[in-house]
Structure 1
Amino acid sequence: MSLDKSDVEKIAHLARMALDESHIDAYVEDLSNILDLVEQLEAANTDTIEPMSHPLHMAQRMRSDEVTEGDCREVNQAVAPKTENGLYLVPKVIE
């Protein structure tokens, strides 16, 4: 896919970026090259490729699911301005 100068200026405007006029031609070439690479990647046949959750075939190390910290609700709520029945009370913000 080939971009032109107006496309790059429109993209810059949408991204709220200020571009230096002397660099726009380089941006046009660079972005066009990136889009050409994406088109090449899309053209690759991936029908026989199994999706992977990780680029390396290895087992994920998982830690055991154990409680490591006790119930600290009373300590944490001691500094709260208002609490009731174990809940924090906050001002209403939506009417």
Structure 2
Amino acid sequence: MDDERQEWISKRAYGLWEKAGRPHGKDREHWEQAERERAELERVALPEHLKRKRNSTEADDATSAAVASTKGMLPRNRGKVLPAAPRGRPKASQTGPAGGATTS
């Protein structure tokens, strides 16, 4: 039994014991009830792929598929320097009547 599961069962059994009024000699009953509750929680609440232990660097099939589907969505200019936008006021040849910039 792994440590996290053991700790959950221990805390739950303690909570059951307190809720029952801290009766003497009922520790085994509370422990078994906590084990049943944990087993039910694992059966219902945890998806199958999370029940398996694996290296944290491994990706499950759904994650791999999601990453693969975004491959074509990445910008093409990654790592390239783009030209800077022009600075300052437009030159006289770029302005129209009343000093506004032309749109051509």
TM over 0.5: no
More RCO (CA 8 Å, sep 6+): 1
How does the TM-score come out when normalised to structure 1? 0.32
